[in-house]
Amino acid sequence: MNLEKVIFGFFVLLAATLNFGFFLGDIGDPSVHNVYELFAAVVVNLIATVLKFGDRTQIGAVQLATSLVASLQLIAAAVVWTYATNVASDALSHEMTASVVSLSGGAVFANIVSVVLLVVETVSFQRR
């Protein structure tokens, strides 16, 4: 068992599940999208990105790329949410919620690619 693989797999999967949980539900209804779930998804995604820093392998580099995409999408979602709650006149309107959730939906796709890569790497790993 490789501890590094366990930790990385944990964070990649956790990022995907948290993000998916936030994404789930009516896209424009703020009551079904918990902001703390978004917060957790951002943090876990950032950690998953940093964990792939300096990886020389090909698959590691692609994983770094997908994690970066997910992080950037989620940070964009967080910024939109901050703007909607703190700056805009009507707090968290239907449109604003929709754009936050759709941004996180993009991140979900990147997370899924990360998970697929993780599975591919695990399956192609020869030593048992």
Partner 1 sequence: MGNPLLIFWYRIFGEEEENGPRSYAGAQPLPSIPSGQTSAGILLVLRRMRIPLVVIIVIFAVSVLGLSLIPGEDAQGDPRRMGIFESFYFMSYTATTIGFGEIPHTFTAAQRMWVTFAIFLSVIGWAYAIGSMLALLQDRAFRRALARRHFVRKVGHLGEPFLLLVGYGNAAKRLARALDDMGRRFAVVDYDENRVASVDLDSYRADTPALLADARDTAKLAMAGLGYPNCEGVIALTGDDETNLDVTMTAALLRPDVPVIARTFSREIAEKMRAFGAPEVVNPLDRFGDHLRILLRSPAEYQLMVWLTSSPGTPLPPRRAPLPRGRWVVCGYGRFGRELTDDLRAEGLEVTVVEGKREGRVGQFAGRIDADDLESADIQHAAAVVAATEDDMTNLWLVEEARRINGEALEVALQNRAANSPLFDAVGVDIALVSAEVVAHEVMARLANPVLMRFLPQVPRQGEEWASHMVERLVDRCGRGTPDLWRVRLTEEEAPALAPWLAEGELRLGDLLRSPRGRETPLGVVTLTLLRSGNRVIGPDDDYLLRRDDQLLIAGGPSARRALDVTLTDEPTASYVIDGRIVPSGWVGQLLSRKGPSRSREEV
Q: Does 43 bind partner 1 (CB under 8 A)?
A: yes
Q: Which is nearer to partner 1, 27 or 92 (CB)?
A: 92
Tokens of 21: 């949980």
- Cα angle, residue 74 at apex, residues 53 and 25 outer, rounded to 5°: 135
Q: Smallest gap, in angstroms, from Cβ of residue 50 to partner 1?
A: 4
Q: Which of 56, 89, 123, 128 binds partner 1 (CB under 8 A)?
A: 56
Q: Does 6 bind partner 1 (CB under 8 A)?
A: no
Q: Which is nearer to partner 1, 20 or 39 (CB)?
A: 39
Which of 20-28, 32-40, 99-107, 115-123 is the region at the interface with partner 1 (rule: CB under 8 A)?
A: 32-40
Q: Which is nearer to partner 1, 61 or 116 (CB)?
A: 61
What's the CA gap between 62 and 49, in Å, rounded? 11
Are the C-beta atoms of 19 and 45 separated by less than 8 Å? yes
Q: Does 50 bind partner 1 (CB under 8 A)?
A: yes
What's the CA gap between 69 and 74, in Å, rounded? 9
Residues in the site for partner 1, rule: CB under 8 A? 35-36, 39-40, 43, 46-47, 50-51, 53-56, 82, 85-86
